[in-house]
Every structure is written in C-alpha cells, then in structure tokens.
Structure 1
Amino acid sequence: MRILVLGFTGYLGGHVVEHLRALPGARVFGGGRSPDAVINCAGSTDGDPVTLAEVNSRGPAVLCAALREAAPSARLVHLGSAAEYGPGTPDTRVTEASATRPVTLYCATKLAGTVTVTTSGLDAAVLRVGNPVGPGAPPTGLPGRIAGLLRAAGPDPDAVIRLGDLSACRDFVDVRDVARAAVLAATSPGPLPHVLNIGGGRAVPVRELVRTLARTAGFRGRIEEDGGGSARSGAVSWQCSDIAAAGDSLDWRPSYALEESLAALWAATSVRPEGGRAP
C-alpha cells in the first residue's frame, strides 16, 4: 500500500510516519507518487491571517483538487482540530454532530479546511484532534513550552515560572494515539464517517497538566498565574470530545494515560539537541 504523508516533518506528521513504517507492506512517501491513501498532517496553529488561510484553508482545497485529478480513488485522511467546535459546555462532550462555532481565525481556517475535505466527493475522513501531547511537543504549544521552562529552571528551589490563566479544561490526547488513529483511518477497508473525534475523552484542567509535568520534572520552585494567556486558548474555557464514533469505526481508543504522555514529553526534552527538535 502506497501512502503519501503531507506535513511529515512536523510534530503530528513525524509520529504518523513512524507508525506507518512499522506497518507490514506499507510504502511511505513524502511526495511525488501516485498513492493509495493520503494523510494530510500539514497545518499551522500560529501566524498572520494570510498564513493561516493559506495553510489551513487553501492547502486542503488544493490537495482535494489534485487528488480528484490524479488519484480520485485514494483515501484522504485530514487532521482537523477539536477547536473547530468552539467553546464547549461544561460536563458535556461534543459529538461529531455538534454545532461548530469557531471563535478565532485559527479555528475558522481549520473549519474551512474540514468543510472542503468533507464536501470534496473523495473517499475522505477528517480526524478532529484534541490537544496533542507527548514526545516531541513543539515549544509553540502549552505542554512543550512548559517543559522548556521547567528544563531551564532546573532544580532551583527559588525558581519562579509565571504563566497565564490555567483554569481552562482541555481534552488532551497522546500524539502517538493520534498517529495510530490516522494509520487506522488510512488503512480501514470500508467507508468511514466524514468526521471522527480523536481525543482523550475527558476534560483535564490545564492546571493539572502543568502540576503533573512539574512533578515529573522534579521542579522545586513556584508556579504563578498572572491571569493572561493566548487569545486562541483563552477563547475556549472548556473542551471535551465524545470519542465513541472512533471506537465504533476504527476500533480506536486512547492507550496512553496523561501521566505517561507527560513522562515521555519530559524524557524527550532531555535528549533534544541544542536548537533542534527531539527525535
């Protein structure tokens, strides 16, 4: 089976390729081949409006047009975002049928990409991914940024790490579980629902994630909240996905506990080369 992975040098894409290469009979390409399946991991979480629209909205449209021309029978698996749903209601999991209410440009551009894929007429499925965490997490996201701050602080008992508001709840999912879901979706023999939620299935206070990672790191200093934070994260205070459909369609369920994901993230930061990514 020939599988083309777009965005294979990124955080999610790198883990997807690692899982695919362990699959018997799979041939993984980064471009230039006629594929049996395509996994689109390309995307941008930050940047100016033009960058976000170009990567998250126009990119999937160009990809769909190319597949209709060159490989109309190929399975397309596109990685979307649970942020497309917008603000959640506490104690209520969102299903794939829930309304989408994007509140930031990032959310809106990701939703536009999803709509493009699901209305393309291709054999396509969108995986709406929660907040990925685990080895190799980039410093642009909260888990990776916190790990970097903890690594820089070291064991100093007088160290102080100042963060924004940590009261929000998020649905964290291990990046390796996301990769496994993408592989299952790409190789599933039957038709799939247009959209599938991929998450941990529970709402975790961000404060809990930070404290757990600090314990894992052996941090002895203080963590202070100043009430600020990013607009992209602050606009959604509670988020949790219903992942039952992924279990029914892909026989997929998360296999890593949050503590395991954070331990793997912390271990990976210790082997990160200066100025580079963790393997």
Structure 2
Amino acid sequence: MRILLLGSSGFLGAHAAARLRGLPDVRLLVSGPTPAADLPVDLTACPQAIADALLRAAPDVVVNCAGLVAGSAVQLTDVNARGPAALCEALGEVLPATRLVHLGSAAEYGPADRGTPVAESAATRPLSPYGATKLAGTVAVTSSGLDAVVLRVFNPVGPGAPAAGLPGRLAAQLRRAGAHGTVRVGDLSAHRDFVDVRDVADAVARAATAQGPLPPVLNIGSGQATAVRDLATTLVRVASFTGQLDEGGDGSVRSSAVAWQCADIAAAGTALGWQPRHALADSLADLWNSAPPGGSVR
C-alpha cells in the first residue's frame, strides 16, 4: 500500500508519519517543505498542479494533515478551505478510487451544551475564522463523492505540542520563568477534551488501512472533559514549578465563548476499533520532557 502524507512537518503530521512508517507493507511518501520530503504537493496551487503531483506519487491513500491554526482570514481560507477543495478536485480527476483521510477540528462545532458530549451529528457553529475555514474544508471533503473520511480532532497534546495551543504555550512559559518565577495566563475555567497526539496518529493509521467505506466524519478525542485549570496544575507539577501562576492575563476569546466541550467518540470505536490509550498526565509529562530548554516549543 502506498500512502501519501501531506503536512508531515507539523505537529499532527509528524506523529502520523511515525505511526504510518511502522505499518507493515506500507510505502510512505511524505510531502512538505523539508529536504526529506519525497515530493512537493502545494494545496494552494491550482488543481491541475496537484493532480500532476498525485499522478507521480500514485498513492492508494492520501492523508491530509496540512493546515493552519493561526494567520489572517485570507491565509486560513487559502490553506484550510480552498486547499482541501483543490485536493478533492484533483483526486476526483486523476485518482478517484484513492481514499482520503482528512484532519478536521473540534473548532468546527462551536458552543456545546455542558455535560453533553458532542456527536458527529451535532450542529456546526464555528465562532472563529479558523473554525469556519476548517468546516469549509470538511464540507469540501464530505461532499466530494470520494472514498473519504474526516477525523475531527479535539485538543491534541503530547510530545512536541506547539505554542499555538495552551499545553505547548504553558510548557514554554514555565521553562522561561524558571522554577520560582511567575507565569501569566488567562482564565482557566473552560473545560476541553484533550487527546494525545499519538492516539490521533493511531486513528489516522486505522482510517488509512480500514477495509470498506467509513462514515464521513469521526470524532477523535479522549471522551472526557478536563478543566483547563486541572491541566495547568498537572503541568505545573510535572515541571516542578513552585512559582506563581497568575490568571490575570488576556484569555482566549474562544474559551469564553465555548466554556465546555467533550467528544462523543463512540463512532470512531465502532468504525475503526479505535480508542484513546494515553492518560493526560502521561501526555503532559511527555510534552514537558520533549520540550527544549529555554521554552522554545515549536
């Protein structure tokens, strides 16, 4: 089986690459801006250029981990919305039987009812350009007519977590502050579903190799709502930090608008035989141990 992985240099993509390389009878091709990439596939290019690259790779499965979590509305639209649409158009033209595994985001859902896990059938009401553009990408994939599945990832955490998310950002701040310093954060009262990035990578591998059609969208989360304050407390303990955690900083607009979110992961269990295996405390310990000195977290 030939699998083409797009976005292999990112947080999710790098872990997906490691997991896919471990599969028997799989030839993994990666696309990205690194010298180790097998070929360039630019999803912001015209569909014909993407189609030409796909023909050269001739994959049985394409895994799309490419995406932006921050940037201008134009940049987010170009990569998160137009990119998947162009990829689907190119696949439909030259490799219509190829399976597509695309990574979506829990930000596509928006506000949720406290205490009720969010199922794939829930309304999508994104509150940010990021969530809206990821939803547009999901719609492009699910309406393409391809053998495709969107893995809607909740809040990934684990080794190598970037500073674009709270766990990676807090780890970087703790390293810069030293054991007895002060770390200024925003409101930590929200509840989120944190899932280990290695569990996400396992879901990717299972979706790529599953026999037969899959549901159009599958939630990939831990199935548990964790208080962000509890996550911060655990990371502080892992870091042996004895200084001050000050919640008087600027908080996330999304956290104030989406106070509680948790994934219903039953469908992923049924369709993929998948379940999360990493405890959050272990994910945070591995994040801390993977971070370089000085707080430089990618």
TM-score, normalization by structure 2: 0.89
> Is residue 34–residue 70 contact of structure 1 (8 Å, CA) maintained in 2?
no
> Is residue 43–residue 55 contact of structure 1 (8 Å, CA) maintained in 2?
yes
1:26 aligns with 2:21: no
Instruction: Report matched runs for 1:199-210 at 5 Å.
Output: 199-210=221-232
Q: 2:67 aligns with which of 2, 26, 43?
A: 43
> Is residue 175–residue 294 contact of structure 2 (8 Å, CA) maintained in 1?
no
Residue 219 (structure 2) aligns with: 197
1:117 aligns with 2:149: no
> 1:231: Cα distance to partner?
2.4
1:68 aligns with 2:82: no
> 1:275: Cα distance to partner?
5.7
The whole-number CA distance in structure 1 between the counterparts of 2:137 and 2:153 is 14
The whole-number CA distance in structure 2 between the counterparts of 1:232 and 1:39 is 28
Show structure 1 runs of 5+ residues with no match.
none
Residue 2 (structure 2) aligns with: 2
Report SS of the residue matched to 2:130: helix
Aligned length: 274
> Is residue 88–residue 141 contact of structure 2 (8 Å, CA) maintained in 1?
yes
Q: Deviations over 1:241-267 (max 9, x none)?
A: 100000000000000000010010001
> Is residue 76–residue 124 contact of structure 1 (8 Å, CA) maintained in 2?
yes
Distance 1:160 1:227, change over 3 A: closer
The whole-number CA distance in structure 2 between the counterparts of 1:160 and 1:22 is 42
> 1:274: Cα distance to partner?
8.8
1:223 aligns with 2:245: yes
Report SS of the residue matched to 1:166: coil
Residue 203 (structure 2) aligns with: 181
Calculate percent identity across the aligned residue pairs. Answer: 59
Q: Which runs of 4+ in 1 moved over 4 A?
A: 272-277
Cα RMSD between the aligned structures? 1.4
Residue 126 (structure 1) aligns with: 150
TM-score, normalization by structure 1: 0.95
The whole-number CA distance in structure 1 between the counterparts of 2:258 and 2:194 is 14
> 1:154: Cα distance to partner?
2.0
> 1:88: Cα distance to partner?
1.0
> Is residue 128–residue 197 contact of structure 1 (8 Å, CA) maintained in 2?
yes
> 1:189: Cα distance to partner?
0.9
> 1:149: Cα distance to partner?
0.9
Residue 11 (structure 1) aligns with: 11
> Is residue 183–residue 244 contact of structure 2 (8 Å, CA) maintained in 1?
yes
Residue 272 (structure 2) aligns with: 250
